[in-house]
Chains A and B, each alone.
Chain A
Amino acid sequence: MDTATPLAVMLETAVRQVGQIVLGKEREIRLALACVLARGHLLIEDLPGMGKTTLAHALAQTLGLQFHRIQFTADLLPADILGVSIFDRERSQFVFHPGPIFAHLVLADEVNRATPKAQSALLEAMEEHQVTTEGETRALPAPFFVIATQNPTHQVGTFPLPESQLDRFLMRIALGYPDAQAERMLLAGEDRREMIAHMKPLLDPASLIAAQHRASEVFVAEALLDYVQALIARSRSGGRFGPGLSPRAGLALVHASRAWAFLAGRSQVLPEDVQAVLPAVAGHRLRGPSGEADADALAQALMASVAIP
């Protein structure tokens, strides 16, 4: 639509490069990237073995980010995430050993298997972009991006994230099964782990921060805000969508739409951008009339019921 910036071209290439690893999931890759650009965090909810870890790893490698993975288990303690101070005999003082959270991109695998205490340590770090242990505050590297994965909640022995915690994630997506053609390519192709190791980074932390900045400058017209407000108002009225979208959700919608438009190489946000990110941004924030319902269907119903002003 508009003249694509070199940065946008680079990001487009990154989407394609990740797409060669995670086959047939271009839309989800784009959403994940948009989430990074909007300075949000991503929650992937799916069954084991769907490529969640692969996606996170490939994304980190392509964007040139330092990558850490934390496997959440029932006995995980906050110190295992944030780091501990250990007494150094030679220097006779406590030395801080940073935990795995000190990385650009952190994969919190199976976050619902840990206790709420460990979960909240992660979520606080996500929110504040800093870690406070033993009275000392340490800033996390920038950019900082968390991809948490969660198994569907009907498994035994899990602590599903409560709604208030879900709200901390800008988007929630599911990967789902690949289509037959993609699956065939996956089965026929070489080892994904091997491929990731040989991928070359297209960006670095500095240019990613620049891209985040550019994405936040995408123009949002009054007419578009009218549309966002109409969506929010619709979600709050009638009880069809539970209590409706919070102001934070509205803000998240605008930020994510900006990033989506930026990825599409446009300098202004269109209603289509809002619609593209709405299921991922609002899905985990909406409730059906009788509690849990299919998030995607709810988001589609919301979109269909609001005319673009």
Chain B
Amino acid sequence: MARHSSFPPLPAAHWLFAGIALVIAPHAAHLPVWLSALAFAMIAWRWTAASGRLPLPGKWILMLLLAGSAAGILLEYRTLFGRDAGVAMLTLMLALKLLEMRGYRDAMLTVFLGYFLVITNFFYAQEIPFAVYLFAVVLVLTAALVVLNHPASAGQWRRPLKFSAQLLLQAAPLMLLFFLLFPRTGGPLWGMPSDAFSAKTGLSENMSPGSISQLVQSDAIAFRAEFASVAPPPSRLYWRALVLENFDGRNWSRNRGGYAAETTIETTGTPVSYTLTVEPHDKPWVFALEVPDPLTVPQDTRLTRDLQLLANKPVQRLTRYTLTSYLDYRIGRDAGPGQLRNALFLPRNGNPQARELARRVRDEAGSDADVVARILALFREQDYAYTLTPPLLGQDGVDEFLFKTRKGFCEHYAGAFTFLMRAAGVPARIVTGYQGGEFNPVGSYFIVRQSDAHAWSEVWLQGRGWVRVDPTAAVSSTRIENGIASALPAGEPLPFLVRTDMEWLKHLRQGWDAVSTYWDLWVVGFDQEEQIGLFARLGFGIVSWRELVWGMAIGLGLLLAAIAAFVFRPGRRPAPDKVQALYLKFCAKLEKAGLARPPSEGPLDFAERVRWQRPELAAGTDAVVHLYIQLRYGARASSEIYGEFASLVRNFKP
């Protein structure tokens, strides 16, 4: 069965297989190792076979390979559908198709499968460098197409690439038209398959010792914030996400029951307005500065009674929220005992030393506010340290942290503080979110990363309501004022991008972040809403998909008309081959009339001979030859002359 293959010819084979390898390469990051290895092995086999050094596999081997790897995919993913399994299947099929490629038709099919696989790459990443890479892949695949159809251009590598680049450039206006007008579906464009949102980093609903310090190791961006006017100082940038009231002795978690009564909010001072661009994190919470104005809560979100801003559905794509917050506020001054009961709850047992400490402080202190001040003073004056790598804690975590290890991260301080407050009879709860952020002067906005994740406490004081207390600030005030990078002792591991010691790197990073933010917002994030918004701003009102399709058709027509007008513009030199073809047709007509032109006879000599031999044809011949000379040898050939020439030749009847 095995046979050697003479198709495709070598230069075309190089282009084609290089293109296919390049398109499969990014998928190797998430495909099972055996599958990527198999795919590349098949490409290598086919590549070697193209130069005649290996036979192509027979039908039975192909069948076996297909069945085996399809079973492998089924075992690996438990399905053949969905995003991951589908892409795996497609990759496998493309590689197998290479092995049974025997003719021109197969090669064309392979190129188009390659184009399709380019698109599937966008299921996994949509960053600018990746898009640039995929453009390069399309360039190579198109060059393969060029070489397949123009074997004459195969010798060099530059010409097919140049031609391919020309084709892509010509397609660019079309791409722009389709990008703007192609009707979008409601969901994110690339996230159609249901398994598209997995493994996003971000704050979770629970807090236990170590959960935030792990998050802080990531320099992924949580959200960006752009202030309408002057931004508040970093020490006031508390981005509130979740309120954790339930405590089981180790974990803090959200109070799902909700509050019985509305929380009253009293605000003073001028509010600040800002726009958040939240990265997808697959959770509903939105990060608002304390405390968001309940009257200007954005659409699709709601403010809970413990002042968490929640979206109606998980944030699964880059979303923009415009918010207003008051930095001077009093909340829940009139909270009743029912509301505060939850904030005093402690498990019956555990952490006896901490309870003992709390009781002692309670006895010495005159008021709740005094308790808070004394505990904070304790943190400040005793030998507590701020570190990203705290020792592991056992059963009585609060005791161990307070009296033994004395090293911790924000969640340790917030957790221990809140525990002590409750033990001392002061209502307290934990708030998680982000603190600070890095200002990007290029786009003039704040970048808030996962490394800015933070936890703090709120205590309820008679007459003042819920008051924010950040015990971490008592231990390390620089963390709050200057950010995490300066607060940690030298030598602590920090994500590369959070480091502040390399100035040039910082500028580069900020410029790049500004560019990629606009890319995310206007290119990747150009969804149904943005599309409708854009056309509404342009004065088209709310467009329906029908109108968009019409717009596409009209735009396509206009574009083609513009191209046609360019190609057939007056004064443009017609293609020399067409002129010559018509002239040869003219000569053929005269040859039928018995006037053969020797190949070495010039047009004037020929016309002269016609004049002698067939004087009645002289006028027609002279006219044709006159125009032919201008078109073929003249300096000012134009499409008008060509049109006249063509009609003269067509109507010439010897």
- Residue numbers of A with Cβ under 8 A of B are 1, 219, 221-224, 267-272, 275, 303-309
Contacts and interface: CB of A to CB of B under 8 A. Distances in A.
B626 interface: yes
Nearest to A274: B602
A90 B629 CA distance: 67
B633 interface: yes
B600 A303 contact: yes
Contacts of B605: 272, 275
Contacts of B629: 1, 268, 270
Contacts of B630: 268
Given A219-B634, A219-B635, A221-B633, A271 B626 contact: no
B431 to A, nearest CB: 78
B503 interface: no
B603 interface: yes
Interface string B578-611: 0010000000000000000011111111000000
Nearest to A223: B632
B600 A304 contact: yes
B633 A223 contact: yes
Interface centre among A267, A270, A305 (most CB of B within 10 A): A270
A222 B576 contact: yes
Contacts of A223: 576, 580, 632-633
Contacts of A275: 600, 602, 605
Contacts of B601: 308
B243 to A, nearest CB: 79
B604 A272 contact: yes
Nearest to A272: B602
Contacts of A224: 633
19 contacts: A219-B635, A221-B633, A221-B635, A223-B580, A223-B633, A268-B630, A268-B634, A270-B603, A270-B629, A270-B633, A271-B603, A272-B602, A272-B605, A275-B600, A275-B602, A303-B600, A304-B598, A305-B600, A308-B600
Given A1-B626, A222-B576, A268 B599 contact: no
Interface in B162-182: none
Closest 4 CB pairs of A and B: A307-B599, A271-B602, A219-B635, A272-B602
Contacts, number: 50
Nearest to A306: B600
Nearest to A305: B600
Interface string B603-624: 1110000000000000000000
A133 B626 CA distance: 53
Contacts of A267: 634-635
A28 B173 CA distance: 61
B600 A270 contact: no
A270 B628 CA distance: 11
Contacts of A306: 599-600
A269 B603 CA distance: 12
Contacts of B602: 270-272, 275, 308
A52 B402 CA distance: 123
Given A219-B633, A307-B599, A308-B599, 8 more contacts: A222-B576, A224-B633, A270-B602, A272-B604, A305-B600, A306-B600, A308-B601, A309-B580
Interface centre among B576, B605, B629, B633 (most CB of A within 10 A): B633
A303 B576 CA distance: 23
Contacts of A309: 580
A304 B598 CA distance: 8
A279 B81 CA distance: 78
A221 B634 contact: yes
A304 B600 CA distance: 6
B652 to A, nearest CB: 20
Contacts of B603: 270-272
A223 to B, nearest CB: 5
A187 to B, nearest CB: 33
Contacts of B576: 222-223
Contacts of B634: 219, 221, 267-268
A305 B601 CA distance: 11
Nearest to A222: B576
Nearest to B608: A272
Interface centre among A267, A268, A275, A306 (most CB of B within 10 A): A268
Nearest to A224: B633
Given A219-B634, A224-B633, A270 B598 contact: no
Interface in B370-402: none
Interface in B620-646: 626, 629-630, 632-635
A149 to B, nearest CB: 31
A221 B600 contact: no
B328 to A, nearest CB: 80
Nearest to A217: B635
A272 B604 CA distance: 7
Contacts of A272: 602-605
B585 to A, nearest CB: 16
A221 B604 contact: no
A269 B600 contact: no
A275 to B, nearest CB: 6
A232 B515 CA distance: 58
Contacts of A221: 632-635
B599 A269 contact: no
Nearest to A220: B633
B600 A268 contact: no
Nearest to B634: A268
